[in-house]
Amino acid sequence: MPMPMRRAIPILVALVSLAARAQAQRGAYVPGPGDDWQRRTPAQAGIDSARLQAAIVFHREHESQGPRDLLQLHYQTFGREPFGEAVGPFRTRGEPTGIVIRHGYIVAEWGEPRRVDMTFSVTKSFLSTVIGVAYDRRMIRSLDDPVSAYMAPVIPLDVGEARGPAADRLGRAGVLEPFETPHNRRLTWDHMLRQVSDWEGTLWGKPEWADRPSGEPSTWATRARKEPGTAYEYNDVRVNALALAALQVWRRPLPQVLKEMVMDPIGASNTWRWTGYETSWVELDGQAVQSVSGGGHWGGGMFINARDMGRFGLLTLRRGRWGDRQILSEEWVRRALTPTPAEPGYGFMNWFLNTGRKRLPSAPESAWVHLGNGTNAIYVDPEHDLVVVVRWIENDSLDGFVQRVLASVTGS
């Protein structure tokens, strides 16, 4: 029976809109590799130069107040937590840095856009991306599958430690099984990606309860677990458990996967590095492999320059497409941008949504930001066809900066 016209018209309009957007993306400018990146003046890009300069000045006047020595900063902040010792590399950071990209073209740069610095939890967006590529290839069949179904026993390496006689190792676990408790066996990829898992355990010497602990200390390690999916908690130990699970799916180092599947296709430089901890080495298929971290909470994570961050932001703005190549599926991007019921301002890690315009009141609700400590941010704004990288700005000044950038946009 033919579909009623009143039902067919909205569907037809939606299909036409999707087709038009796909066609626009295919015809949109994307930069070539490396320094093959065209520029436009602010006037050519529909931006008021004086107002944009005011935004840049605002950034410089609101630089992050912590010491630029990020190891020192760690021990003034996260290092004061239980088991807070640094186990990954840190680097002294550079000056306030940013890039404004409109319609794919560089409109403005300031600071040190080619300097490789820590990017803290923006790393999580790269982690979720390599999981997205695995999902697109059906290496992960469903995001509602339990993660435990994809895990083999993990052989940890005691790097730099004497193993001692075999008898001395009796009673010590020879393998890691991070998803084998009754609670953890119920956790799905979606739970882990949205940080609503309440995963329990210790990984790489860090108990999950020691990350941003709150409440009564006597209950940290003994409280009842929350139903998966019902409570959002930002927790880097759980992110690292997800990174270990992704390593088991790919059976190769995740930085190699990211380079081959994402960063090389979008023309990123060869200077970024993704590291884990001195404690996070495992044996995989007879080789020593480092399981990378999802941020710099205890050091490590993604070390990257602002230009490469801008390329990644442009990839997400174009909904996974780079020129004629679909690097991430439209389905994955749509899922990443779907609000988490327990925290509507969060999609997949680390896509912070602007639901209800709560995170960035000055920005459209359709915008999102890949966000990390520092503050490091990749602001993505489809309404204005805009990507802005801003590094080392006070967290409570981010909206003021975005407000000034958007005030500079005068045309389409």
Whether residues 235 and 322 share a domain: the answer is no
* Residue 411: pLDDT band with limits 50, 70, 90: confident
Last residue of a domain, one of 292, 323, 338: 292
Higher local confidence (pLDDT), 1 or 305: 305
Residue 100 in domain? yes
- Condensed to tens digits (0 to 9), the pLDDT of residues 206-222 reads 999 999 998 889 889 88
pLDDT of residue 173: 59
For 315, left (φ over 0), alpha (ψ -120 to 50), or beta? alpha
CA distances from 406 to 22, 40, 337, 369, 384 (A): 25, 17, 21, 15, 8
d(CA 350, CA 195): 10
SS3 track for 255-293 = HHHHHHHHHCCCCCCCCCEEEEEEEEEEEECCEEEEEEC
141 and 287 share one domain: yes
Please indicate, yes or no, whether residues 190 and 261 belong to a single structural domain of this protein: yes
pLDDT at position 19:
43
Q: Domain with 390 in it: what CATH number?
A: 3.40.710
One domain, residues 258 and 161: yes
Model confidence at 8, pLDDT cuts 50, 70, 90, reads very low
b/e code 140-177 from CB counts within 10 Å (16+ = b):
beebeebbbebbeebebbeeeeeeeeeeeeeeeeeebe
Residues 311 and 190 in one domain: no
One domain for residues 176 and 275: yes
Q: Per-residue pLDDT tens for 43-67?
A: 999 999 999 999 999 999 999 999 9
With pLDDT > 70 as the criterion, what percentage of the chain qualifies? Answer: 90
Say how far apart CA 83 and CA 298 lie, in whole Å: 10
- Mean pLDDT along residues 148-157: 96
Report the relative pairing of strands 351-353 and 325-326 from DSSP bridges: unpaired
Distances (CA, A) of 137 to 134, 207, 315, 369, 384: 5, 33, 18, 26, 32
CA distances to 21, 80, 148 from 262, in Å? 22, 36, 26
**254 & 273 share domain:** yes
What's the pLDDT at 11?
38
Residue 315 within a domain: yes
DSSP 210-229: GSS--S-GGGTTTSPPPPTT
Q: Which H or E element spans position 400?
A: helix 398-407
Q: Find all residues with CB under 8 Å of 49, minimum gap 6, and list them.
A: 41, 42, 43, 408
N-terminal to C-terminal alpha carbon distance within the chain: 44
What predicted TM-score, i.e. pTM, was given to this entire model?
Answer: 0.92
Asked if residue 14 belongs to a domain, the reply is no
pLDDT at 167 over 90: no
In a domain, 16, yes or no: no
Please name the helix (run of DSSP H) or strand (run of DSSP E) that holds residue 378, with its range, or none: strand 376-381
Alpha-carbon gap, residue 29 to 36, rounded angstroms = 12
CA atoms within 13 A of residue 231's CA, in its CB half-sphere:
8
Last residue of a domain, one of 231, 262, 292: 292
pLDDT, averaged across the chain: 92
Cβ distance 345 to 358 under 8 Å? yes
Give residue 247's domain range: 125-292
Number of domains in the chain: 2
Residue 283 and residue 151 in one domain: yes
pLDDT higher than 90, residue 348: yes
Residue 103 sits in the same domain as residue 134: no
Q: Is the pLDDT of residue 169 over 50?
A: no
Residue-wise burial string across 95-121, b where 16 or more C-beta atoms lie within 10 A, e elsewhere: ebbbbbbbbbbbbbbbbbbebbbbbbb
Tell me the CB-side half-sphere exposure of residue 32, using CA atoms within 13 A: 4
Do residue 263 and residue 151 come from a single domain? yes
- Asked whether residue 11 is domain-assigned, the answer is no
Distance CA 412, CA 119 (A): 31
Give the tens place of pLDDT for each residue, 99-144. Answer: 999 999 999 999 999 999 999 999 999 999 999 999 999 999 999 9
Q: What local confidence, expressed as pLDDT, does residue 382 receive?
A: 98
Position 15 in a domain: no
Find all residues with CB under 8 Å of 74, minimum gap 6, and list them.
86, 90, 298, 299
Q: Are 134 and 264 in the same domain?
A: yes
Q: What is the pLDDT of residue 3?
A: 46
Within a domain: 54: yes
**Cα gap 232→196, rounded to integer Å:** 4
Within a domain: residue 298? no
Give dist(CA 274, CA 289) in Å, integer: 13
Same domain, 279 and 177: yes
- Distance of CA 131 to CAs 150, 208, 258, 313, Å? 13, 22, 10, 17
| Whole-number Å distance between alpha carbons of 117 and 98 | 13
Provide the pLDDT confidence category of residue 89 given band limits of 50, 70 and 90.
very high
C-beta separation of 315 from 323 below 8 A: no
Give the residue from 238, 269, 292 where a domain finishes.
292
